[in-house]
Structure 1
Amino acid sequence: MTDALPVQPDDQPAIDRTEALRAAVEAGFPTTIADLTRLVRIPSVSWPAFDPAHVAESAEAVAELLRGTGVFERVEIHRELEKDSDQLGQPAVLAHRPARAGRPTVLLYAHHDVQPPGKDEDWDTPPFEPTQRGDRLHGRGAADDKAGVMAHVGAIRALAEVAGDFDLGLSVFIEGEEERTSRSFGNFLRAHRESLAADAIIVADSGNWDVSTPAITVALRGAVAFNLRIDTLAHASHSGMFGGAVPDAMLAAIRTLDSLWDADGAVAVDGLRGAGLEVPAYEESQLRAETGLLEGVSPIGRGEILSRIWSEPAITVTGIDAPDVANASNTLLPSVRVRISARIAPGQPAEEAYAAIKAHLEAHAPFGARLTFEDVDTGQAFLVDTSGWAVEETRAAMADAWGVPPVEIGVGGSIPFIAELVDEFPDAQILVTGVEDPDSKAHSPNESLHLGVFQKALLAEALFLARLDAKPRP
């Protein structure tokens, strides 16, 4: 591959196309926001406890938006089998147009499913009623990742308006189960490999440094998640009659789980390791402002704050199946089940990390408590190769759209399917971008999208596509 792509002599000057795209994005932005609000109103939660009809409705709405651009030879909705299962995954949208005149092909990825909303009372506005407050649009999925979907749609619309019947090859893959660990993702890639093959892949599911500074995500932690069941008794017993003589499952769970961290809150599992990435300065005051850390509550871990987030493992207990306080009785619980979510530093295989965590828990279970491991999910970490032509083109497009050059960031979260993209398309250059900012609160109540960030991110993608439309395939 070449490091740079030569501009063709008969191309329209870059500055003319840049300004035309800027004008097209601005003129179409009200329509883009209106379409985004319609998507946000669809409660497309892909988790098993929620109505799958909403995910199907969302897929149909996304397909209609892509058909409406008028640029694709075909737009289809597909469902593929989950990994190692006879269960079909959630519906995904696939659109494709082949490249012409020796131009490259770009694959655009986002997902249309969303996280569960949680409790309505934790939201300032209804989670599925998009509400604009100042320069932010609030609602579940407004940022993660229906704005990613609309960034692709809006960029394609602007490109078609400015360039006409362009030659760039385009594929769009809008997944329907990213928030449920992308269980059919690998099978989808293999089933539609010809339509998905590309020279560059844009994964629009990350964030930016702040509302004024764009970012390219170059490091993502891996993920390990599983249910842990702790059993100590054959049946429940009266806590007054037998408490103090037999261990209940809650006591065993608390003791077992506490062993996962040291006194500083850093992970204390032998076999989990860090990546040693260099990180920029990031003050504790910024961490407090962005996370809502209460006064008097200290951060956890050791070393540079961003190193803890980008470059070190983390373990969180994200759920507990046990009686709530309102229904608590004087009972020794025979069994407790918890959901454990771990983030794995780049460079460590997720399966290796899971084995280390499992061995640690088994070694630290007190009183002979019985442990059962269920519903294990793993996803690989990822480090982006920043030396290729596509990264350089992205940097230039972001700088022109935002007015400042992008920074390279790591993300503490995970996008496990990227490793599958690398395996299936090893020659493609992968770009991880996004529309979020530190105040977007993805996965949390009051999720929101900064409209200024969204417009600049959309323009950056439109510039990237337009400039590749004027260059030969590498």
Structure 2
Amino acid sequence: MLRTSLAVLAFTATMAAPALAKVSPAERRTIAAADSDPERDFALLDRLVAQNSGTRNLEGVRKVGRMVAPELEALGFSTRWVPMDAVGRAGHLIATHPGKPGTTRMLLIGHLDTVFEPGSPFQTASREGDRLHGPGAADDKGGVVVMLAALRAMKAAGTLAHANIEVVLTGDEEAAGEPVSLARADLVAAGKRADVALDFEGLVVIDGQDYGSIARRSAGDFTITASGSTAHSSGIFSPEVGSGAVYELARIIDSFREELPEPNLTFNIGLVAGGATARLSADEASIAATGKTNIIPPVAIAKGDYRALSPEQVERVRAKMQAIVARHLPRTDARITFKDGYPPMAPTAGNRALLGRLNAINADLGLPAMPALDPLKRGAGDISFVAGEIDGLVGLGPSSTGDHTPEERVDLSSFPRQIKRAALLMTRLSREPAKSVAR
């Protein structure tokens, strides 16, 4: 059993009374409820982390879903499991809470899976003071626990009853099933029903400063296949033979380095090979190549990813890549293909306004204002699939370090402020008319 964090108690005890002057009686009850039973939150987190739910551990993901569903049902949500067998994934947990008609419809987003598959040596959790060291302790099981705790605080205060909320907890955020259009169809549909999206992935803290995330970059893959004439190496660069596939691929990669850079864009080559033969594996995670130093290679392959901040930037960068690929060295050819992954979440005015609402809550709680996080500081995520439809805010989960590595540690002392922020934000949004959060 995890023990109550001293930081939780300190936060409650030191909250300045003047800071709560603008907080309504119902919101005061919410704050009190948020602090009432941290042991329950930490014990639930402990159980969730103990169950492996690597994305490809389908039964493990389902088990985590079966652990979370009763928590939502106890709060008045109806739940359903959406199987994703067709894309080779476990499925998604979707829960709905009908509130007062005509009020803001909120979409809460999180995920049940982790990057740590059953074969990973990182399987167990341990308490280290105010930190829990364990697989998925932050990303995103800590976020799910913060979400549930915020909803529980609202229910205890009587503010959940009128809230229109839909929860989508995906089972494959860390490795989305393909086609993505099918794997994310239910999330996209939920986004079309909502007015605002709140993402419970982790809070980013830099030098003690909490940041709010109003943007996430895209994540897409590309494959470059270069070809050339093969011959004895003594003929390289001759008019009859040309430059060979490897030099053509090297030209393209180095031209990307020189010509593509622009703000908010990153691109990377993660896998490359060439030779007399080169074949990309079915899972696109390896390339089998053969060759000799005295043979000019006829084929070379590279795989990479690129991340951009807006749909317009994605299209512009793709066009520049295609133009670079089309400039061939003598007697070579090349092509580039793209695979869509996660779309971007652009930093819209509506997203900024939503962060402004959160900062009003920070002021009421006596917490510092949260600047908008540089989108280069976090990766892609599920909220981006609905970002084109509605305004959103990312980072309502707990803070952590070492995510996606065996050093993943969630900061338990961040739970109380994140629970309060989320509960008060949802409470205030629930009182506003639907579609009031305009872009």
Measured against the shorter chain, the TM-score band is 0.7 to 0.9
Structure 1: which amino acid aligns with 2:358? Answer: T
Equivalent in the alignment of 1:421:
386
> Separation in 1 of the partners of 2:206 and 2:108?
23
2:387 equivalent to 1:435: no
Aligned-residue offset at 1:206: 5.1
Structure 2: which amino acid aligns with 1:432? Answer: V
2:227 equivalent to 1:222: no
Equivalent in the alignment of 2:254:
258
Compute the TM-score of the two structures, normalised by the length of structure 1: 0.68
2:61 to 55, 66, 71: 55
2:141 equivalent to 1:146: yes
- Residues 434, 70 of structure 1: CA spacing in aligned structure 2 closer, same or farther, 3 A cutoff? closer
- Residues 118, 252 of structure 1: CA spacing in aligned structure 2 closer, same or farther, 3 A cutoff? farther
> Separation in 2 of the partners of 1:451 and 1:20?
22
Describe how 1:55-454 pairs up with structure 2 within 5 A.
Answer: 55-67=61-73, 69-72=74-77, 74-79=78-83, 87=87, 90-100=90-100, 103-116=103-116, 126-163=121-158, 166-181=161-176, 183=180, 184=182, 186-189=184-187, 197-205=193-201, 207-210=203-206, 212-230=208-226, 253-262=249-258, 268-269=259-260, 274=262, 311-320=263-272, 331=292, 337-346=301-310, 348-363=312-327, 368=332, 370-371=334-335, 373=337, 375-377=339-341, 379-386=343-350, 390-401=354-365, 403-412=367-376, 413-415=378-380, 417-418=382-383, 420-423=385-388, 426=389, 428-435=390-397, 437=399, 440-454=401-415
> Separation in 1 of the partners of 2:63 and 2:408?
22
> Separation in 2 of the partners of 1:328 and 1:353?
29
Equivalent in the alignment of 1:32:
41
- Residues 138, 351 of structure 1: CA spacing in aligned structure 2 closer, same or farther, 3 A cutoff? farther
Aligned-residue offset at 1:75: 0.5
- Residues 152, 229 of structure 1: CA spacing in aligned structure 2 closer, same or farther, 3 A cutoff? same
Structure 2: which amino acid aligns with 1:225? Answer: D
Contact 1:381 1:414 in 2 (8 A): no
Structure 2: which amino acid aligns with 1:42? Answer: Q
Aligned-residue offset at 1:396: 2.2
> Separation in 1 of the partners of 2:292 and 2:335?
21
> Separation in 2 of the partners of 1:101 and 1:77?
25
Describe the superposition over 1:305-330 as per-residue Cα deviations: whole angstroms up to 9, x where unpaired: xxxxxx4311112345799xxx9998
Aligned-residue offset at 1:91: 0.7
Structure 2: which amino acid aligns with 1:71? Answer: G
- Residues 220, 468 of structure 1: CA spacing in aligned structure 2 closer, same or farther, 3 A cutoff? closer
Describe the superposition over 1:224-250 as per-residue Cα deviations: whole angstroms up to 9, x where unpaired: 31233455688xx9xxxx666667866
Aligned-residue offset at 1:143: 2.0
> Separation in 2 of the partners of 1:228 and 1:445?
32
> Separation in 1 of the partners of 2:250 and 2:118?
25
Structure 2: which amino acid aligns with 1:95? Answer: A
Aligned-residue offset at 1:147: 1.9
Aligned-residue offset at 1:156: 0.9
Structure 1: which amino acid aligns with 2:164? Answer: G
Compute the TM-score of the two structures, normalised by the length of structure 2: 0.73
Q: Which runs of 5+ in 1 are unaligned?
A: 1-11, 121-125, 263-267, 275-310
> Separation in 1 of the partners of 2:144 and 2:415?
11
Contact 1:227 1:339 in 2 (8 A): yes
- Residues 108, 170 of structure 1: CA spacing in aligned structure 2 closer, same or farther, 3 A cutoff? same
2:430 equivalent to 1:466: no
Aligned-residue offset at 1:155: 0.7
> Separation in 1 of the partners of 2:350 and 2:338?
38
What SS does the corresponding residue of 2:386 show, helix, strand or coil?
helix
Deviation larger for 327-336 or 399-408: 327-336
Q: Kindly, what percent of the aligned residue pairs are identical?
A: 20
Aligned-residue offset at 1:421: 1.7
> Separation in 1 of the partners of 2:190 and 2:214?
27
> Separation in 1 of the partners of 2:164 and 2:224?
46
Aligned-residue offset at 1:408: 1.7
RMSD: 3.9
What SS does the corresponding residue of 2:32 show, helix, strand or coil?
helix
> Separation in 1 of the partners of 2:266 and 2:427?
40
Aligned-residue offset at 1:76: 0.6
Aligned-residue offset at 1:208: 2.7
What SS does the corresponding residue of 2:312 show, helix, strand or coil?
coil
Structure 1: which amino acid aligns with 2:47? Answer: R
1:42 to 35, 45, 51: 51
Contact 2:110 2:140 in 1 (8 A): yes
Equivalent in the alignment of 2:418:
457
